Amino acid sequence: MPEGDTIFRTARALGRALTAKTVTSFRSMYPLLTRFNDDTPLAGQTVESVQPRGKWLLIHFSGGGTLATHMLMSGSWHIYRHGERWQQPRANMRIVLENSEYIAVGFRVPVAKMLRANELERALRIPPVAIDVLSEDFNAAEVARRVMAHGGEEIGDVLLHQEVMAGVGNVFKSEICFVTATSPFCKVATLDAEKIASLIAAARRLVKTNVLEDSGDAIVTYGGRKRRTTLALDPGASLWVYGRGGEPCRKCSERIRRRIQGPDARVTFWCQRCQPMPDGTVVDG
Ligand SMILES: [Zn+2]
């Protein structure tokens, strides 16, 4: 599932290509979208804005409709100039939005809805801005309250709950726990308010930094080495622990552990020495 910062970058790129421009053509493989377009043609309307909200990408049209897409694991938006060759087969095309300069193509976008303004929040279960790590109106106290409501769960799982804090995916989960010296397997109830505040601050800092630095599709949390050069070959080269199972910890040289965690069986990476359990229990990996 794309991390919040990937959605943010997609929204930014689409925003540059589409905002304040008149739509010249709209096509989709989804009957519900084409029906909406038959009733209220998007061609001739202007794209007012493109907005990331949690893991949703919203394209707002001047006619009052919003195209909401959720990428899940498989989907992506590409932007092409007219005549430019597509990088995915036409069979993968689900949505096409054109203006005089660009063609935006949603490939294998699994979830897409056309919504009126009054339907948005409820239909998408869009997270409130107060808990969206990338929002200006993020409210750390509110998120801390939501985290603490999951006292019986492990912090590594709770960091992924989009209704607790929206925008943190599985890569950031491991990185956030590492940079705050927190065992991902601690029950939330064993963490004090200060630790929870530091986890939330780290989540914001790491996700936002990745957005601001425009690091392409790669996530960068570890800046101790040259950042960009090895990314294509080794996705773990820019990270503290994620994807580095069996390799030495960048702080203490202990072997980085890997373990499947939680009801959704997500992979977690951590350093036993840098991220001990408060009660001294050893979680093996
Ligand atoms: Zn370590």
CA of residue 69 to ligand 1 center, whole Å: 39
Question: At which residue do the structure tokens 């929206």 appear?
Answer: 166
> Could you tell me if 172 and 7 are in contact, meaning their C-beta atoms sit under 8 angstroms apart?
no
Region class of 218: left (phi > 0), else alpha (psi between -120 and 50), else beta: beta
CA of residue 253 to ligand 1 center, whole Å: 6
Question: Is it the case that residue 99 has pLDDT exceeding 50?
Answer: yes
CA of residue 223 to ligand 1 center, whole Å: 16
> Could you tell me if 254 and 274 are in contact, meaning their C-beta atoms sit under 8 angstroms apart?
yes
> Could you tell me if 270 and 256 are in contact, meaning their C-beta atoms sit under 8 angstroms apart?
yes
> Could you tell me if 70 and 110 are in contact, meaning their C-beta atoms sit under 8 angstroms apart?
yes
Compute the mean pLDDT over every residue in the chain, rounded to the nearest whole number. Answer: 87
CA of residue 226 to ligand 1 center, whole Å: 20
CA of residue 270 to ligand 1 center, whole Å: 8
CA of residue 205 to ligand 1 center, whole Å: 21
| H helical segments located in the chain | 4-18, 31-39, 120-124, 140-148, 155-158, 170-179, 193-212
Question: Is it the case that residue 51 has pLDDT exceeding 70?
Answer: yes
CA of residue 250 to ligand 1 center, whole Å: 7
CA distance 167 to 161: 9
CA of residue 273 to ligand 1 center, whole Å: 5
Per-residue pLDDT tens for 204-235? 999 888 776 544 556 666 765 433 333 444 55
Per-residue pLDDT tens for 230-242? 344 455 568 999 9
